[in-house]
Amino acid sequence: MSIAVRSVSKNFGRFAALHDVSLEVAEGELLALLGPSGSGKTTLLRVMAGLEFPDDARGRVFFHGRDVTDQPAYQRRAGFVFQHYALFPNMTVAQNVAFGLDARPRRHRPPKAEIRARVEHLLGVVQLEGLGARFPAQLSGGQRQRVALARALAIEPSVLLLDEPFGALDAKVRKELRQWIRRFHDRTRITSVFVTHDQEEAFEIADRVVILDKGGIQQIGTAREVRGGPSTPFVTEFLGLGENI
């Protein structure tokens, strides 16, 4: 198991965002967390990243079999991509991508020339060669999201977590970028989890889809499994399967 979540509950005030959720993500898998807003999908992703912590000690998070529950985000090496990019506006694209490498303690930090070479390489991977000197404000939405991806990949993350990565993009760019992500995943096989409220998106690129509602998992399966046999009335309704019967 690459990522495992056990019995995680999370409340914000009186709102139960997650209620006793357990989930396992296989090595090299591309998994989608799908659900309406308020279903807890983003909270689950943030718990994996260490940006939120489970309410009680029963809730645990494991990366590659290692318990990381008590590690804060900056120790987990989980690449995270935000819906609204969250690029550093005062830094160039190259500085953004280099941020995670520059932040390493001195003895683990690669020499400057190597950081530069790696940034160049990553900008090539996300097809933004030659844009390293630009500032985020000078890029389009699709380009910004690819910078965010390159920045997350720079730390050689053990897992990649994406929060509505296509949510802020227009329809055409969204479609291109999600196919690109799928191809990228086929190449690298880095364990990835992404959050979406768009079922077409989830079923098109994910290996398996997790459907959440009201802080609980309703069903887990491949596109064929979920569509072929929705396990709860919610899933049937959410996927719009009822109309076909």
Q: Which helix H or strand E contains 221, and what residues bound it?
A: strand 216-221
Q: How far is the CB of 226 from other proteins (least distance, A)?
A: 28
- Other CB atoms within a 10 A radius of the CB of residue 231 amount to 14
**What is the side-by-side strand order in the sheet with 159-163?**
78-81, 159-163, 192-196, 30-34, 208-213, 216-221
Pick from 87, 123, 128, 162: which binds other proteins (CB under 8 A)? 87
Helix axes 141-154, 171-188, angle to 10 degrees: 20
Nearer to other proteins, 76 or 185 (CB): 76
Q: Which is nearer to other proteins, 72 or 130 (CB)?
A: 72
Binds other proteins by CB under 8 A, chosen from 18, 152, 217, 235: 152
Per-position x/- string for 50-69, each x denoting binding to other proteins as judged by CB under 8 A, each - no binding: xx------------------
Residue 88 engages other proteins in binding (rule: CB under 8 A): yes
Does the CA dihedral 211-147-151-136 come out positive or negative?
Answer: negative
Counting contacts by CB under 8 A, is residue 79 touching other proteins? yes
Neighbouring residues of 57: CB distance < 8 A, sequence distance ≥ 6? none
Would you count residue 165 as binding other proteins (CB under 8 A)? no
C-alpha–C-alpha distance, residues 187 and 201, integer Å: 19
Smallest gap, in angstroms, from Cβ of residue 108 to other proteins?
Answer: 9
The nearer residue to other proteins, 14 or 224, going by C-beta atoms, is 14
Binding-site size for other proteins (CB under 8 A) equals 34
Question: Which are the contacts of 210, defined by CB distance < 8 A and separation ≥ 6?
Answer: 23, 31, 32, 33, 34, 217, 219, 220
Q: Is 75 in the site for other proteins (CB under 8 A)?
A: yes
Q: Which stretch binds other proteins (CB under 8 A): 83-91, 174-182, 196-204, 228-236?
A: 83-91
